[in-house]
Structure 1
Amino acid sequence: MRRLILMRHAKSDWSHGTSDHDRPLNARGRGAAQALGNWLRAEALLPDAVLCSTAARTRETCARLALPEGCRVEYLRELYLAEPDQIITSLRQRGTGNTLLLVAHNPGIAAAAAGLLQQPPEQEAFDRYPSGATTVMDFPVESWADVAPGCGVLHAFTVPKQLV
């Protein structure tokens, strides 16, 4: 069994005037990332490893989750604005541990979540996949290399608005 947590980065700050890749989180996003980390701990959903886009907003989201010290984080340029096929390829090739968190961007992360699930949650927020949206799904496979579209079983879905 493998558990995948797909998270869109928290709300970013458009006022900085930096490149898209260097855009940080805004105050609301910083609070949302902390709330998501609290939710992961409360629900016993802490990952063994993380695959994260190299963008500033995904890195900051990941850092503010306050994951356990032993959790291995790998930053991948290939996840920056990645299409769903690239997201799935990255997790198949680089996934480690039993529970993996992948932090990336829309629209790719939303499409990957929808494509991997057998049945998506019946929540309007899932269709929008707003900043901080997080889907947790389980796969009855031995290896991350065996993860396939339409095989994930929904375990949980949340958005920061539900947590704050």
Structure 2
Amino acid sequence: MKTLILVRHGKSSWEYSVDDKDRPLKERGIDDGHLVSAELRSQDLSIDAVFSSPANRALHTCLIFLRQLNFPFINFEVTNDLYDFSGESVLKFIQKLDDRFDTVMIFGHNEAFTNVANTLGDSQIEKVPTTGLVQLDFEVNNWSSVTTGKTAQTLFPKKLK
């Protein structure tokens, strides 16, 4: 079985005149990151690898989760494949994951993550909110075989407050 955990970056700030990749998190994004990652930590999931978009807001969200989960940084990687807004690059990335990883967590962006969650999951999500987490489970042994799986859980900040 393969498990994919999608996490959309936290609420970002438009306050600064910076390139899109450099936009920082707002305080709410930081707080929501701690909230959702604490809930995930309480589930005691075993995560094999973590990947993040290089965008500052996704990377910062990811680092909050890594610290909260005490995840070893050696099993973490930044990849441009996740700096995607349609979902096409994300889907290709998922299908090329190393099969030795059973549970993978990725950090990225919308509309890509909503499209991926709705394409690969068995329930429709109108919009993955900022810092929203969607867990998808697949009854396959190879990432290249991933098609439609089960939407095992959603953790959205608004529902945890």
Considering the TM-score relative to the shorter chain, is it more than 0.5? Answer: yes
1:83 is aligned to 2:86: yes
Q: Unaligned regions of 5+ residues in structure 1, if any?
A: none
| Number of aligned residue pairs | 157
CA distance in 2 between counterparts of 1:152 and 1:45 reads 18
What are the equivalent positions in structure 2 for 1:1-164 lying under 5 Å apart? 1-65=1-65, 66=67, 67-70=69-72, 72-95=75-98, 97-117=101-121, 119-120=122-123, 126-148=125-147, 151-164=148-161
CA distance in 1 between counterparts of 2:84 and 2:144 reads 22
Q: Unaligned regions of 5+ residues in structure 2, if any?
A: none
Q: Could you list the per-position Cα deviations for residues 92-133 of structure 1 after superposition, in whole angstroms to 9, with x for gaps in the alignment?
A: 21345211111110101110000001x215xxxx30221111
Q: Could you list the per-position Cα deviations for residues 64-98 of structure 1 after superposition, in whole angstroms to 9, with x for gaps in the alignment?
A: 11233435111111211342221111012134521
| TM-score, L = length of structure 2 | 0.90
Kept in 1: contact 2:33–2:131 (CA 8 A): yes
Name the amino acid aligned to 1:160: P
79-88 or 25-34, which deviates more? 79-88
69-78 or 51-60, which deviates more? 69-78
CA distance in 2 between counterparts of 1:98 and 1:78 reads 20
Name the amino acid aligned to 1:101: M
Q: Which runs of 4 or more aligned residues in structure 1 lie more than 3 Å from their structure 2 counterparts after TM superposition? A: none
